[in-house]
Chain A
């Protein structure tokens, strides 16, 4: 065989193999998959109920204002399957869906309260064992059923699964009250030294559901998906909730505050009271374990930088004393937040602040003993707060508007 013939034959063979081995046995067409944007997990006492929010690509354009006859159609469909395990439930989806569920674009997993009380071990195992699911999916808790959350439409976002992820990211970035907890972080927290974790709450605010597109025919909708409290887990099971104030305190102690707001009471020269709103631009917390005699204690060293956003006290911001009082007010408020969160954690007997890890790092020898009954050690440990509050900016006005008004009256 000539060299030329060999080359041609080789090329033909290469093209042939390239064609028959494309994606091999795992090839899947786009029109064969059901893309899930959110997953819900509930527990009915005996079985897992897994709900899926599946995209209907053709309908998305009609909701977004694109062309298409017959008016807007729902861009999502929600359905549930039941099984003894989570994967067993997902397998049952093949019996009722013409398409295979595709989880790569899943943005959130919502867990119902009962399922959270049963434990998240199985869910974490599913996420780490299967390559189709992603560990970066955000975890949310809900007091009712997860399915109800998945059924809600959202303003400004056609796909509520993606919208829920955006809300939690926005909340974390702008107020820091609730953290975004991806699956891998949840796994890290429940397996950490303290074996405790937190999950943000999402709930339906309003009496009626917004599960029909007709609700969007008016300027207000009957209900909204809203972030609320913080679910607290001990081991892998939920044991209670923290309110938003305690949650913000916990965020300071966990050093997860990016930006936030704080309302500080103020009083002018005449004794009139009001409030200053301070935008927290930067925050950094160090929780330092210390030994006082034989007792373990903690010091929270917090550095906060803020800017004044609103003031309704008559105050001249040029006066150094005013700035000082603002900073003192901020210090006091942050200190109160920290103490309330710490007390709540101790009351719930759960260390969600990472105190166990810090203690393990600082006192590795003693930790071997403390780790045997960490709950008791943590419960007895007092927290001392040292807050350094710096007002970096006062905004575009050097005096409050009320100060000018009061002066005019004189």
Chain B
């Protein structure tokens, strides 16, 4: 393995792994809980997210260049290393399936309502599998290009929507019960914890020492986009109407009407969001394949990708008979799983690393990748 990802590309990977599902469904969920103070919940979640990003990067810094599973095995022994790898592999597979289905539901709701679900999920998994087969470097390069597009589309969108924005709709600030504001911050905290995927990416970084910067900036970019979408939705539609919207960020862009020549521009926003979603799919499929391939000592990465992809198509098409089931799964039910796998497990790993620090020093550091 040759380290090939720059810090900027890592930032793009982190933000792509966090943002797409977060801005899709969470704004309306958060506004329905925290009303017009939902943006404060977004900021609270961002602060917690930055702390998590800091923690993950600190853990990742202890890795001196080994692949994640190999690192776990070398520090905790093979049984624990393999168990951690398989558990994470199953978690990432589960997360991948939820993301694919969420994406397919969105496409089905917005444009392709007559297209069979298995075809939508099949194409999405196919694209993700193809990207993963090109390697993490290709995913990172694509993620960086998508990040550049986001940097263009966000200021343009805010500029176009400026006349519809009324900041008065955010007043009175802190009108909502503090408990509700705290509760509304849980769903984004769950998704921000996905920054833990960095632990798998660090060995591929050209400068692993800059993982802290990448982690913090990536999380900041992701949470800023969430706060921005909440602010736009609230200042344009007000707190009563946003909970009605399944995809508030689409509704926000759909109201743009400049004369008769500039309308329906949500197509552009959604197109860029599609790209970020494909990057997220690729990152999570890569993580699944990476963990299972190395934990189970498989021989062909290509065949692992194909096998997992077929299983993913079957799961995403058949697991949730109703779209609402996936919505609940993505926003609320999955939260404990996210917190266990992305926070509790890294905390356990950190404790384990502290305990085995002496053993590591005795061995005299790590071998290269």
Q: Is A92 an interface residue (CB 8 A)?
A: no
Contact of B112 among A24, A182, A187 (CB under 8 A): A24
Q: Is the CB of B168 within 8 A of A191?
A: no
Q: Is the CB of A26 within 8 A of B251?
A: no
Q: Is the CB of B168 within 8 A of A361?
A: yes
Q: Mask for B251-277, Cβ within 8 A of A = 1, else 0?
A: 100110100000110000000000000
Q: Is B171 an interface residue (CB 8 A)?
A: yes
Interface of A is mostly: helix
Chain A residues lying within 8 Å of B116, measured Cβ to Cβ, are: 25
Contact size range, A: 20 to 34
Chain B residues lying within 8 Å of A134, measured Cβ to Cβ, are: 254, 264
Chain A residues lying within 8 Å of B148, measured Cβ to Cβ, are: none
Q: Is the CB of A131 within 8 A of B111?
A: yes
Q: Is the CB of A192 within 8 A of B110?
A: no
Contacts known (A25-B116, A182-B255, A361-B171); A131 close to B110, Cβ less than 8 A: yes
Q: Is A136 an interface residue (CB 8 A)?
A: yes
Q: Is the CB of B255 within 8 A of A188?
A: no
Q: Mask for B213-245, Cβ within 8 A of A = 1, else 0?
A: 000000000000000000000000110110011
Beta-carbon nearest neighbor of A166 in chain B? B260
Contact of B238 among A24, A25, A128, A192 (CB under 8 A): A192
Contact of B257 among A25, A136, A188, A360 (CB under 8 A): A136
Q: Is the CB of A26 within 8 A of B241?
A: no
Q: Mask for A125-137, Cβ within 8 A of B = 1, else 0?
A: 0001001001110
Q: Is the CB of B245 within 8 A of A128?
A: yes
Complex-state Cα separation, A128 to B242, whole angstroms: 11
Q: Mask for B88-111, Cβ within 8 A of A = 1, else 0?
A: 000000000000000000000111
Instruction: For the complex formed, measure the closest distance between the CB of B357 and the CB atoms of chain A, giving whole angstroms.
Output: 49
Beta-carbon nearest neighbor of A195 in chain B? B240
Q: Is the CB of B168 within 8 A of A26?
A: no
Q: Is the CB of A25 within 8 A of B171?
A: no
Complex-state Cα separation, A182 to B164, whole angstroms: 12
Q: Is the CB of B255 within 8 A of A191?
A: no
Instruction: For the complex formed, measure the closest distance between the CB of B323 and the CB atoms of chain A, giving whole angstroms.
Output: 13
Complex-state Cα separation, A24 to B123, whole angstroms: 11
Q: Is the CB of A135 within 8 A of B254?
A: yes
Complex-state Cα separation, A397 to B369, whole angstroms: 86
Beta-carbon nearest neighbor of B107 in chain A? A24
Beta-carbon nearest neighbor of A190 in chain B? B240
Beta-carbon nearest neighbor of A191 in chain B? B240
Complex-state Cα separation, A324 to B110, whole angstroms: 58
Q: Is B175 an interface residue (CB 8 A)?
A: yes
Instruction: For the complex formed, measure the closest distance between the CB of B77 and the CB atoms of chain A, giving whole angstroms.
Output: 43
Complex-state Cα separation, A191 to B241, whole angstroms: 7
Chain B residues lying within 8 Å of A188, measured Cβ to Cβ, are: 237-238, 240-241
Q: Mask for B107-142, Cβ within 8 A of A = 1, else 0?
A: 001111111100110010000000000000000000
Q: Is A364 an interface residue (CB 8 A)?
A: yes
Complex-state Cα separation, A357 to B114, whole angstroms: 42
A and B contact pairs by CB, cutoff 8 A, 12 listed: A24-B114, A24-B120, A25-B116, A26-B115, A128-B251, A131-B109, A131-B111, A135-B251, A136-B254, A191-B238, A191-B240, A192-B240
Contacts known (A128-B244, A360-B172); A184 close to B123, Cβ less than 8 A: no
Contact of B172 among A21, A24, A364 (CB under 8 A): A364
Beta-carbon nearest neighbor of B168 in chain A? A361
Complex-state Cα separation, A188 to B263, whole angstroms: 21
Chain B residues lying within 8 Å of A191, measured Cβ to Cβ, are: 238, 240-241
Q: Mask for A82-105, Cβ within 8 A of B = 1, else 0?
A: 000000000000000000000010
Q: Which of A346-369 contact B (CB under 8 A)?
A: 357, 360-361, 364
Q: Mask for A112-134, Cβ within 8 A of B = 1, else 0?
A: 00000000000000001001001
The 8 A-B residue pairs whose C-beta atoms are closest, nearest first, are A191-B240, A24-B115, A25-B114, A364-B172, A25-B115, A361-B171, A26-B112, A26-B114
Beta-carbon nearest neighbor of A165 in chain B? B260
Contacts known (A24-B119, A191-B240); A135 close to B110, Cβ less than 8 A: no
Q: Mask for A169-211, Cβ within 8 A of B = 1, else 0?
A: 0000000000000101001100110000000000000000000
Chain B residues lying within 8 Å of A25, measured Cβ to Cβ, are: 112, 114-116, 119
Chain B residues lying within 8 Å of A128, measured Cβ to Cβ, are: 244-245, 251
Instruction: For the complex formed, measure the closest distance between the CB of B121 and the CB atoms of chain A, giving whole angstroms.
Output: 13
Complex-state Cα separation, A231 to B215, whole angstroms: 55
Chain A residues lying within 8 Å of B237, measured Cβ to Cβ, are: 184, 188
Complex-state Cα separation, A187 to B242, whole angstroms: 11
Instruction: For the complex formed, measure the closest distance between the CB of A358 and the CB atoms of chain B, giving whole angstroms.
Output: 8
Beta-carbon nearest neighbor of B110 in chain A? A131
Instruction: For the complex formed, measure the closest distance between the CB of B105 and the CB atoms of chain A, giving whole angstroms.
Output: 13
Chain B residues lying within 8 Å of A135, measured Cβ to Cβ, are: 251, 254-255
Complex-state Cα separation, A334 to B34, whole angstroms: 40
Q: Is the CB of B113 within 8 A of A26?
A: yes
Chain A residues lying within 8 Å of B175, measured Cβ to Cβ, are: 364
Instruction: For the complex formed, measure the closest distance between the CB of B174 and the CB atoms of chain A, giving whole angstroms.
Output: 9
Instruction: For the complex formed, measure the closest distance between the CB of B364 and the CB atoms of chain A, giving whole angstroms.
Output: 44
Q: Is the CB of B172 within 8 A of A136?
A: no
Contact of A21 among B123, B168, B240 (CB under 8 A): B123
Complex-state Cα separation, A21 to B112, whole angstroms: 11
Complex-state Cα separation, A192 to B110, whole angstroms: 27
Q: Is the CB of B168 within 8 A of A136?
A: no
Q: Is the CB of B241 within 8 A of A187?
A: yes
Chain B residues lying within 8 Å of A131, measured Cβ to Cβ, are: 109-111, 113
Chain A residues lying within 8 Å of B257, measured Cβ to Cβ, are: 136
Chain A residues lying within 8 Å of B110, measured Cβ to Cβ, are: 131
Q: Which of B315-361 contact A (CB under 8 A)?
A: none
Given A25-B112, A135-B254, A136-B254, 16 more A-B residue pairs with CB atoms under 8 Å apart are: A24-B114, A24-B120, A128-B244, A128-B251, A131-B110, A135-B251, A184-B237, A184-B255, A187-B241, A187-B244, A188-B240, A191-B238, A191-B241, A357-B168, A360-B172, A361-B172
Chain A residues lying within 8 Å of B244, measured Cβ to Cβ, are: 128, 187
